[in-house]
Copies of this chain bind each other. A is one copy, B any other.
Amino acid sequence: MRKHSVSWGVGIVLALWAGQAMSASQEPIQPIEPVVIKEPEKVELGKMLFFDPRLSRSGAISCNSCHNLAMGGSDNLKASIGHQWQMGGINSPTVLNSSMNIAQFWDGRAKDLREQAGGPIANPAEMASSHEVAVQVLNSIPGYRSEFKRVFGKDGITIDEVTSALAAFEETLVTPNSRFDKWLKGDKNALTVRELAGYQLFKNSGCVACHNGAAVGGNSFQKMGLVSPYVTDNKAEGRAGVTGQDADRFNFKVPTLRNVALTYPYFHDGEAATLTQAVDVMGRLQLGRTFTDEENGQIVAFLKTLTGDQPVIQYPVLPPSEDDTPRPEPFVK
């Protein structure tokens, strides 16, 4: 008897939700569509480069070190580990769905993935190589020379080709088919009552003001600490470093919430270890609202439905260096 009445109760609640839900086109979040690969050879080359630690001075750090495709396209560290174990200044954002971002890096200083890709290679605190050495390394390797020629139709490798191939690969790293997307597309059984309640709260309490669109974020810059100031030891100043405008201090790119269950820890300083903490801080500092434990739990339950199909990656076999390839220098001071 009891079992029956519970089922009946759930049925009513589901019916109410179904009635309230807007059609997918009216929702502030849109589904992610599977990628259509137009240039498979360029994507394959970009994948090789993404996994190749020889783009770093140490020979040990690749793009995948901090944007690990086994771990939601992130490194799951507060601060990344750079050349000779330097501590990174900011939490590594996920590479997944990053093609949907309004710009790249937390402060948006790179306009697109191509521009971003050149940054870490030459950053002394990250991969600590230079564009010149990186290109010299690749040009010395017959396996790369032939691949670049096949993709770009000419001899010789340039840094623009390197970043172009990396960006082409990264553009394929989208994560469709999350349970939330299935719900958006009409499968009303894809979410539980609790998850739907979380989504409703996410909308009604104002989270969607910044976290909207297909990437559930990534499409605007917003101030961290809008209602109450955010206290942190982290020195990053956000957009102000790009625009020179004092008004842009602590303005950061709103991160995507796609796959957020995989991309812990949270915020630009990585100080929120769990989704529960992150939701609590966002509520208080950005919305002036203290979520109850139950509300927080509902929103977290919703956020966990944003994990999509992870990209299927065949691990590349990289072409070996030649005798004249510049050697890595991991321990040279």
Give the B-binding residues of A (Cβ under 8 A): 51-54, 58-60, 65, 68-72, 75-77, 79, 81, 84-85, 87, 261-262, 264, 273-274, 276, 310, 312-318, 320-321, 323, 327-328, 330-331
- Does the CB pair A59–B87 fall under 8 Å? no
- Does the CB pair B315–A315 fall under 8 Å? yes
- Does the CB pair B70–A321 fall under 8 Å? no
Can you list 6 residue pairs at the A/B interface with Cβ under 8 Å?
Answer: A53-B71, A70-B315, A70-B316, A85-B85, A274-B323, A314-B315
- Does the CB pair B314–A312 fall under 8 Å? yes
| Residue from the list B58, B70, B317 in contact with A310, Cβ < 8 A | B317
Number of copies: 2
| Residue from the list B52, B318, B323 in contact with A273, Cβ < 8 A | B323
Give the distance in Å from the alpha carbon of A262 to the alpha carbon of B314 in the complex. Answer: 19
Q: In angstroms, how far is the closest chain B Cβ from the Cβ of A327?
A: 7
Q: In angstroms, how far is the closest chain B Cβ from the Cβ of A270?
A: 10
Q: In angstroms, how far is the closest chain B Cβ from the Cβ of A100?
A: 20
| Residue from the list B313, B318, B328 in contact with A315, Cβ < 8 A | B313
Q: In angstroms, how far is the closest chain B Cβ from the Cβ of A11?
A: 29
Q: In angstroms, how far is the closest chain B Cβ from the Cβ of A160?
A: 24
- Does the CB pair A53–B79 fall under 8 Å? no
| Residue from the list B51, B262, B316, B330 in contact with A81, Cβ < 8 A | B330
Give the distance in Å from the alpha carbon of A70 to the alpha carbon of B54 in the complex. Answer: 12
Q: CB-CB < 8 A to A327: which residues of B?
A: 273
